[in-house]
Amino acid sequence: MKTIMILTMLLLHTFCIAQSEPQNHYSKKELKIVLKKQKSKSKSMEKLADQRVSFLQRELNLNNHASYQVKKAILKYSIQADKVLQSGLPKKEKTKSLSNIIYFQNEEFKRFLTVDQFYRYINLK
């Protein structure tokens, strides 16, 4: 009976440790630097998205609603692509993940672009 109780306590303790979140051991200064880098990265991504949307507006004659939706999709999938590129995945896995991201971005574009606009978008690449 004691053995079962000890094993139960040991398993319970192991599960608690496994489920606890890892601790960040950043100093306040390091944390500020990390947050600054994230802010500057998101601003640069937004700036690039704005440039891409402006280009697509001219080329595809997008209305305001479509431009807004395109910008949201570009930002969403750019963040995902950046995470893949920054990950430690092997090159083959990165390529596969990026291909999937492009596929899903194109599927999202199909929802708010006309058929003509979508085909022109595909041919721009």
Task: Assign 3-class secondary structure to 18-77.
Answer: HHCCCCCCCCHHHHHHHHHHHHHHHHHHHHHHHHHHHHHHHHHCCCHHHHHHHHHHHHHH
Domain presence at residue 18: no
Q: Is residue 4 part of a domain?
A: no
How high does pLDDT run on average in the chain? 80
pLDDT confidence of residue 42: 74
* Structural Rg of the chain based on CA atoms: 23
Higher pLDDT, 7 or 111: 111
Give a yes or no: residue 93 inside a domain. Answer: yes
Residue 61 confidence (pLDDT): 94
Q: Residue 81 and residue 101: Cα distance in Å, rounded?
A: 7
- State the total domains in the chain: 1
List CB contacts of 40: < 8 A, sequence separation 6 or more: none
Domain membership flag for residue 99: yes
Q: Is residue 3, in this structure, part of any structural domain at all?
A: no
Q: In the predicted model, is pLDDT for residue 18 greater than 50?
A: no
How much is the pLDDT for 62?
93
Query: Does a structural domain hold residue 77?
Result: yes
Give Cβ neighbours of residue 81 (< 8 Å, ≥ 6 apart): 98, 101
Structure confidence at residue 57 as a pLDDT band (50, 70, 90): very high
**Which residues span the domain enclosing 55?**
32-124
The pTM of the full predicted model, rounded to 2 decimals, is 0.66
